[in-house]
Structure formats: C-alpha cells, structure tokens
Structure 1
Amino acid sequence: MLVTHPFHPLVGRQLRVCRAVRRSGGLVFICTAGDGVTVTLPQEWTDRGPAPGRNRLAIDGLGALSALVDALMSRGVEARGGGSS
C-alpha cells in the first residue's frame, strides 16, 4: 500500500499491510514500515482511499466546520452567562 497523505513522514513509501480494522466508522490499516516499526494509517491517507478532490476545502466540510464553530461558540456564551460584552 502506498502512503499518499502529503504531510505524513512516510509519504510515497510502500508499506506491507498486516490487517485492516474498522475504527470510529472508518477503515484503518495496520502496516509494517520495516525494522519492526508498525504504523496505523486511515484509509484516506493511502492509495486505497477515495481520490482527493480538486480543492482541499470541500463545501460539505466547510459547512460542517461552520456548524461546529457555531455550536462551540454558543456553548462558550452559555458557560459565561450569556450576553455580549
């Protein structure tokens, strides 16, 4: 399997897959990188994952991020007693 995540230290290296495991709703691969080193990689960080989109920031992801920020901001306001300064 090829590591494709651009910021992973093993990017471009072929690894031997020992097994695949479902974790947190996604597939991860447990691989050997040589010299007894074991690496766990999400499927999306390999050539076995879906092809990356043209743009790194997809509309769906930005929408989910916006909703998360809004939820966190409203929790912070509630925790401080509400209202604006």
Structure 2
Amino acid sequence: MIVTHPFHPWSGRRVQVCRTVRRSGNLVFVCTAGDGMTVTLPQAWTDRAPVAGENRLAMEGLCALSALVNALVSRCGEPSRGGTS
C-alpha cells in the first residue's frame, strides 16, 4: 500500500499492512515500512481510498428522480390557500 496524504512524513512511501481495524466506523490500517516503525493510517490517506465521487448519483438517475417528483407534484394539484374551501 502507498501513503498518499501529501503532508504525512511517509507520503509516497510503500508500506506493509500488518492488520486492518475499524475505529469510529472508519477503516484504518496498522502498517510498517520495514524499519521497525509502525503507523496507523486512515484509509483516506492511502491508495486504497475510495475514488472521489464513486458513490455519487449518475446524471440519468437524477433526471429520472426529477421526472418522478414532477409527476407526483402535478398529481397533487395546487395546494389550497387558507384552509378549507
């Protein structure tokens, strides 16, 4: 695994993952660089981080959702003003 965080002292360095753990719901790696030192790295600071935007909705899905909302709103008609009519 490679450390990618630009301000980490091991940035760009290949490290060996000793184990993975979850802390506060986030994946972290306990790593060594072969010199006996270990470090715990959040997944976001490594080349194993999810690709940015990977979990975003696709344009097609957003368009379909917009069409559905518009259809539902048009079925309801305009809301009455001032209570009962």
TM-score interval for Structure 1 and Structure 2 normalised by the shorter chain: 0.5 to 0.7
Q: Distance in 1 between matches of 2:4 and 2:49?
A: 9
Q: Percent identity?
A: 74
Question: Aligned residue for 1:50?
Answer: 50
CA deviation string 1:11-37 (max 9, x = no partner):
000000000000011000000022210
Q: Supply the RMSD in Å over aligned alpha carbons.
A: 1.2
Q: Which has the larger radius of gyration?
A: 2
Return structure 1 stretches of 4+ with deviation > 6 angstroms: none
Q: Which runs of 5+ in 1 are unaligned?
A: 54-85
Count of matched residue pairs: 53
Query: 3-state DSSP class of the match of 2:33?
Result: strand
Q: Distance in 2 between matches of 1:22 and 1:50?
A: 16
Question: Aligned residue for 2:41?
Answer: 41
Q: Which runs of 5+ in 2 are unaligned?
A: 54-85
Question: Aligned residue for 2:9?
Answer: 9
Q: Distance in 2 between matches of 1:37 and 1:21?
A: 18
Deviation of 1:46 after TM superposition, in Å, equals 0.2
| Residue identity matched to 2:28 | V
